[in-house]
């Protein structure tokens, strides 16, 4: 299958070469790779250019946006910039971070999953981080959720869900909309992706409030938000984050911020979330 990659990048001189090297070493190469350099002030651009000069399928797009790193909006705006540089002559498209090491058979395996079932809309592996010299499963990983660091979408699915939303929660709403439109989301535990920089390492309090806003924008409602906030805070080992998340939820609610989904989709999402909560309890 023919596939494209888009890699939003900001000050990743430490990792971008490692990531690109793991991509050019794939058993089935991508047709196109677009690296979006979003205002980097280090040597990211120079490093990417060294790859574009040796690999014709890799290209660089430069973008300038505000320097503050809030999860969601900045990275997806950069992704959109990369998308504008591509045609739609692909079978599946991948949003990838710039701090990953993919196993050599990663995209060949992803392709085989898509080929095995036309109803599969998204596929991904699992994120591993280094601790005490060993690569261990990143604790934010859920067996039925594909990490935002490496998302692969069948073209028809990507188009039906309306692409990616430029807001925190984009990597949850995409999967929920896949299920709304009856696409399957597949995770493959045999595909171990090394994640070189822990998720959210640079997020500040404003970003933590954004998580609560994200729960609101997904149409969760208060009770599901409480459950999701408690779970995420415990997974991160920081129980007090629960307060930030709830504050963020109420800030978004009082401001009457628009949802990322339609009322019909929000109703489906709440029903689906309650179903998953009951399955885990019983």
Residue 190 in this model has a pLDDT that exceeds 90: yes
Sign of CA dihedral 137, 142, 143, 148: negative
147 and 232 belong to one structural domain: no
Q: How many domains does the chain have?
A: 2
Regarding whether 50 and 7 lie in a shared domain, the answer is: yes
Q: Are residues 24 and 42 in the same domain?
A: yes
Whether 67 and 137 map to the same domain: the answer is yes
13: exposed, middle or buried (Cβ count in 10 Å: 0-12, 13-18, 19+): middle
Across the range 159-166, mean pLDDT stands at 95
**Given this model, what pLDDT does residue 200 score?**
54
Residue 200 lies in a domain: no
pLDDT for the residue numbered 206: 67
State residue 72's pLDDT score: 65
Q: Residue 190: inside a domain, yes or no? A: yes
Same domain, 94 and 228: no
* Closest among 5, 174, 168, 11 to 94, alpha carbons compared: 5
The answer to whether position 167 is within a domain reads yes
18 and 129, same domain (yes or no) = yes
Are both 103 and 187 inside the same structural domain?
yes
Query: Beta partners for 201?
Result: none
Same domain, 144 and 262: no
Q: Do 191 and 225 fall into the same domain?
A: no
Q: How large is the average pLDDT for residues 152-156?
A: 98
Q: Which of 150, 170, 195 is the last residue of a domain?
A: 195
pLDDT at 201 over 60: no
Tokens found for residue 192: 């171990």
Q: Which of 172, 195, 218 is the last residue of a domain?
A: 195
d(CA 162, CA 81): 15
Closest CA to 214 of 184, 240, 235, 244: 244
Query: Is a pLDDT exceeding 80 seen at residue 199?
Result: no
| Structural domain range at position 51 | 3-195
Let me know whether 168 and 274 are in one domain.
Answer: no
Shared domain for 165 and 115, answered yes or no, is yes
Asked if residue 78 belongs to a domain, the reply is: yes
Q: Domain end: 162, 195, 228, which one?
A: 195
Q: Are residues 52 and 97 in the same domain?
A: yes
């Amino acid at each position: 299958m023919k596939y494209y990659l888009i890699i939003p990048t900001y000050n990743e001189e430490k990792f971008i070469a490692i990531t690109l090297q793991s991509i050019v070493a794939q058993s089935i190469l991508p047709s196109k790779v677009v690296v979006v350099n979003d205002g980097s002030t280090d040597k990211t651009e120079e490093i990417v250019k060294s790859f574009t000069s040796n690999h014709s399928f890799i290209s660089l797009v430069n973008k300038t946006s505000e320097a503050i790193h809030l999860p969601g909006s900045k990275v997806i705006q950069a992704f959109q910039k990369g998308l504008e540089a591509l045609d739609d002559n692909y079978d599946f498209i991948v949003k990838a971070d710039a701090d990953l090491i993919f196993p050599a058979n990663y995209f060949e395996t992803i392709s085989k999953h898509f080929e095995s079932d036309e109803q599969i809309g998204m596929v991904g592996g699992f994120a591993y981080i280094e601790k005490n010299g060993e690569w261990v499963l990143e604790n934010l990983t859920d067996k039925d959720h594909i990490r935002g660091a490496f998302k692969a979408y069948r073209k028809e699915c990507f188009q039906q869900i309306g692409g990616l939303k430029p807001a925190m929660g984009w990597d949850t709403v995409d999967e929920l909309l896949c299920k709304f439109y009856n696409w399957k989301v597949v995770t493959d535990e045999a595909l171990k992706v090394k994640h070189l920089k822990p998720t959210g390492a640079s997020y500040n309090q404003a970003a933590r409030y954004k998580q609560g806003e994200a729960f609101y924008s997904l149409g969760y409602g208060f009770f599901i938000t409480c459950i999701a906030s408690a779970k995420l805070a415990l997974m991160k080992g920081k129980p007090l984050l629960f307060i930030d998340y709830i504050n963020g939820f109420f800030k978004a609610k009082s401001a009457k911020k628009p949802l990322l989904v339609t009322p019909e989709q929000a109703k489906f999402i709440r029903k689906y979330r309650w179903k998953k909560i009951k399955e885990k309890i019983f």
